[in-house]
Amino acid sequence: MAVIKDIKDGDLSVSADGTSYTRIYLVTELSGAAEARLYNVLLTAGVPRYGEPHPVIPGLFVIGIVAVPDEAGAKVTVTYGYPTFENKEPNETVPAVIQVGSTLQESTTSKDKDDILIKTTFVYTPVDDDGNQGEQTPEDYVPSLSVQVPMTSIEYQRRENNNPIQKSMLYVGKVNSVGIGAFAPRTLLCTGIEGGSNDGGITYDVSYRFQYEPKTWDATYFFIDPDTGQPHKDVKINPPNGYGVARLYDEIDMRPLNVI
């Protein structure tokens, strides 16, 4: 029965590509046919398996194992690093690789940064056809303004054993019904689930894409004055008058995806 004779710490490397760490296991008392011994080394109790986390350094996982024979048995070099989309083992329960970013998108609004309806008062003096001036009349005006709003996108990538087509049909176009991770309910919109296979359908490289809206994906609307084409001057948010909130997206519990 193979046993670990010694464990030696190797190099710890920190660079722009991330952190990597190596640990060397010296294994003796190998058994079995010559062509099977190195394989048996990888099954030795105490030798880490591919994908296992580092026992001390958070975020590092086994991303490579090399076993070579030596006079006493075999030397096993285990490399820890940050998993990438390509080197992750197909498993829907392991942490996914994440990519995040924010861009600006143009939108329109009638509310300011504090979510308060924007109004301005215009005082005008009406004049009849004979040039006679009437009384000055104040009129409230609610504008529709163009604004650049940040839109945060989040993408998770993971190698999996199953075709993601069923997930894509179930989740895409829906928002999260319950809070998940740091995201409140109805703030995450699933915009895409895609997967491709390079081994005939044995494994799939799956991407999960979401857009985050901190104010939720619920839509607000106002009563439009047919004479002006703008929100009516008497529209109020609180108490609501000519103002409403609509839920346009179906909800679903996104926790079963196990990516967030």
Q: pLDDT tens digits, residue range 90-132?
A: 667 666 777 788 877 777 777 888 878 887 887 877 777 777 7
Query: Torsion over CA of 25, 29, 34 and 40, rounded to 10 degrees?
Result: -50
pLDDT of residue 67: 87
Of the candidates 57, 53, 61, 67, which has an alpha carbon nearest to the alpha carbon of residue 84? 61
Residue 244 scores a pLDDT above 90: no
More confident of the two residues 250 and 6: 250
Amino acid letter, residue 141: Y
More confident of the two residues 249 and 140: 249
- Rounded to whole angstroms, how far apart are CA atoms 4 and 74? 10
pLDDT of residue 130: 75
Residue 87 scores a pLDDT above 60: no
pLDDT of residue 34: 65
DSSP state letter for 42:
H
Per-residue pLDDT of 146-189, as tens digits, reads 878 788 999 998 888 899 999 999 999 999 999 998 999 999 99
Residue 85 scores a pLDDT above 80: no
Residue 88 scores a pLDDT above 60: no
pLDDT of residue 171: 97
Average pLDDT over all residues of the chain? 83
Residue 1 scores a pLDDT above 80: no
Judging by DSSP bridges, how do beta strands 137-141 and 120-124 pair with one another?
Answer: antiparallel
Beta-carbon contacts of 240 under 8 Å, excluding residues fewer than 6 positions away, are none
- Rounded to whole angstroms, how far apart are CA atoms 138 and 233? 11
Domain segments of the chain as ranges: 3-81, 97-257
Per-residue pLDDT of 33-81, as tens digits, reads 766 777 888 888 888 888 788 888 877 888 888 988 877 788 889 999 8
Name the residue with tokens 């390509």: 86
Task: Classify burial at 40, counting beta carbons within 10 Å of its beta carbon; exposed 0-12, middle 13-18, buried 19 or more.
Answer: middle
Per-residue pLDDT of 8-36, as tens digits, reads 777 788 876 678 889 888 888 877 776 67
Per-residue pLDDT of 192-233, as tens digits, reads 999 988 888 888 989 999 999 998 999 888 888 787 777 777
Residue 86 scores a pLDDT above 80: no
pLDDT of residue 252: 97
